[in-house]
Amino acid sequence: MSRLYLLDIPENEPILAVARTIAGAEVIEVGPYFAICSSDPISIDRRATGVRHAVWYSWVAGLSGWRISQWDKDALTVADR
Partner 1 sequence: MTSLHDEHLVAGVDHAAFPTFDPAGTVRFYRDTLGFPVVHSICAAGWGAKDHPDFIHFFFDIGNEDRIAFFYYFGLEGPDLTQGAGDVYARFPEGTADWFVRSRHLALHVASSEELMEYRRRLDASDWPVEMQIQHETIESIYTHDPNGYMIEFTRALRPVEPQEDLDANLTIDALVEVVQQPHPTMDKLLVRKAELIVQRAEKWQEAQQAAVSDEVRR
Contact residues for partner 1, defined by CB under 8 A: 3, 5, 7-11, 30-33, 51-55, 60-64, 67-68
Nearest approach in angstroms of CB 22 to partner 1 is 19
Strand partners, 43: 77
The CB-of-77 to partner 1 minimum distance in angstroms stands at 14
Pick the closer one to partner 1 by CB: 22 or 33: 33
Per DSSP (E only), the strands in the chain are 2-7, 26-30, 33-38, 43-45, 62-64, 66-71, 75-80
C-beta of 23 vs 73, nearer to partner 1: 73
Planar angle of CA 53, 50, 17, nearest 5 degrees:
115
